């Protein structure tokens, strides 16, 4: 099987990351990447002094966004600090120096970062980093206390060896802890942290000859939304995707395949380690018994395009569902044109699944759309969900999958 792994950005909430002039500024790069892995869009604003430690080009390459430094460095936006503040769902400043803490605590705004902080009405998260004596200085403790009282979330510095050679409190908190605080402020659940999730998505294509193939109308949007949601919730996600026009989710290990047999091989590799397996792909039921090496020409001797011999493809859900281990959660999909719940119940039993997501397809519904209405069918319950975005539906499905862990 030819498999390709790739990553591309995907935006959900927006976090504005402020970087100040501190040796720990290099750790902001890791913070940005962890936020992106959680499915967050990141923009960066820097102080002039911060650029002495990490250049704006680095953050521009990581975020694929413009990096803001000076109050007047964007001629197209004369009120840059206001537009930045309005974009942010959370404003994180990490690392935050004693100087910037003092400015924000006292309402001073003499550069782009502090002006943006004053204009921002979204949650403010501050991760201090500095020399131990500066950190323990009563003025700094007072300023941090003021910010805390005003509602800022402080991710306190840790103890350890400092860049200046001193040992004590003042080290920037671990990037993972800072990101966890930001995600809490965003209201993002991390209930899948430490779990492994496998998702199949999109159609498969079964070649007839080098030009023609058998496939279906699946866009892959639901599976990709589930993969993004699982990553946001802390999971280690493997997405096995048939051909789609979608950008690969950030922070998701993605394996691109074409045929049903390719998809089964890739899913079989990831399945044994998966805590949750969501089989949302629309796998072609049949394939040509033999794909022609050359284009089949109409009317050519020995060629009859009307009588292509078909054979069944492997049933990926049934094959892997039968190998389900104790504690593993298996979610399947039932795309139907009638009797959705009845067919989903049947599939639940025959495919060894814990949950079946049933939906009506055809006439402009489900395939290719940005929203869907479904039934979630388990052994004990049937839940009907009204029309909702596939992004929201992804979290609803994962909410039910998590419940099987007990």
Q: CA quadruple 21, 27, 29, 34: dihedral positive or negative? A: negative
The secondary structure of residue 51, as a DSSP letter, is G
Which of 143, 216, 359, 372 is labelled catalytic?
216
Task: Tell me the backbone φ, ψ of residue 340, rounded to 5 degrees.
Answer: -60, -50
Helices 175-186 and 27-37 pack at an angle, to 10 degrees, of 40
Cα–Cα distance list, 186 to 88, 127, 128, 179, 275 (Å): 11, 16, 20, 10, 25
Tokens coding 116 = 């943006």
Helix extents (H) in 19-137: 27-37, 56-63, 80-87, 98-105, 112-119, 132-136
Q: How many CA atoms lie within 13 A of 64 on its CB side?
A: 9
Q: What is the DSSP string of 242-288?
A: -S-SSPPPTT-EEEE--SHHHHHHHHHHHGGG-SEEEE--B--SEEE
Task: Tell me the backbone φ, ψ of residue 186, rounded to 5 degrees.
Answer: -80, -10
Residue 359 annotated to the active site:
no
Letter string b/e over residues 30-61, b meaning 16 or more CB atoms within 10 A of that residue's CB: ebbbbbbbbbbbbbbbbbebbbebbebebbee
Q: Which of 198, 197, 214 is nearest to 282 (CA)?
A: 214
| Three-class secondary structure assignment of 183-204 | HHHHCCCCCCCCCEEEEEECEC
Tokens coding 85 = 């503040």
Which residues are identified as catalytic? 216
């Amino acid at each position: 099987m030819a498999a390709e792994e790739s990553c591309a950005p995907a935006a959900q909430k927006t976090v504005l990351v402020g970087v100040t002039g501190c040796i720990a500024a290099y750790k902001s790069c890791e913070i940005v990447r962890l936020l992106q892995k959680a499915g967050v869009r990141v923009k960066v604003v820097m102080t002039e002094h911060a650029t002495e430690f990490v250049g704006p080009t680095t953050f521009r390459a990581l975020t694929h966004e413009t990096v803001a430094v000076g109050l007047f460095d964007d001629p197209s936006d004369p009120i840059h600090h206001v537009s930045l503040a309005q974009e942010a769902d959370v404003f994180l400043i990490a690392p935050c120096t004693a100087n910037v803490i003092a400015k924000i605590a006292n309402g001073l705004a003499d550069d782009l970062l502090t002006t943006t902080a004053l204009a921002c009405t979204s949650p403010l998260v501050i991760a201090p980093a500095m020399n131990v004596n500066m950190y323990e200085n009563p003025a700094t403790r007072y300023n941090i206390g003021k910010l805390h009282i005003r509602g800022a979330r402080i991710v306190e510095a840790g103890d350890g060896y400092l860049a200046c050679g001193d040992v004590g409190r003042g080290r920037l908190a671990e990037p993972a802890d800072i990101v966890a605080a930001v995600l809490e402020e965003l209201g993002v659940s991390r209930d899948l942290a430490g779990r492994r999730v496998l998702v199949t998505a999109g159609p498969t294509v079964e070649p007839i000859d080098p030009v023609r193939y058998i496939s279906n109308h699946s866009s892959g949007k639901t599976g990709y939304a589930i993969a993004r949601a699982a990553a946001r919730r802390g999971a280690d996600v493997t997405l096995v995707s048939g051909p789609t026009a979608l950008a690969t989710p950030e922070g998701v290990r993605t394996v691109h395949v074409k045929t049903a047999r390719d998809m089964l091989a890739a899913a079989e590799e990831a399945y044994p380690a998966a805590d949750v397996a969501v089989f949302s792909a629309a796998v072609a039921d049949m394939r040509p018994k033999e794909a022609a090496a050359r284009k089949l020409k109409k009317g050519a001797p020995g060629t009859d395009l009307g009588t292509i011999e078909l054979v069944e493809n492997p049933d990926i859900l049934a094959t892997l569902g039968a190998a389900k281990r104790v504690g593993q959660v298996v979610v399947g999909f039932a795309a139907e044109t009638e009797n959705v719940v009845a067919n989903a119940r049947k599939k639940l039993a025959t495919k060894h699944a814990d949950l079946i997501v049933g939906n009506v397809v055809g006439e402009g519904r489900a395939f290719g759309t940005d929203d869907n209405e479904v039934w979630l069918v388990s052994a004990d319950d049937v839940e009907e969900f009204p029309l909702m975005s596939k992004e929201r539906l992804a979290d609803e499905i994962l909410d039910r999958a998590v419940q099987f862990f007990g």
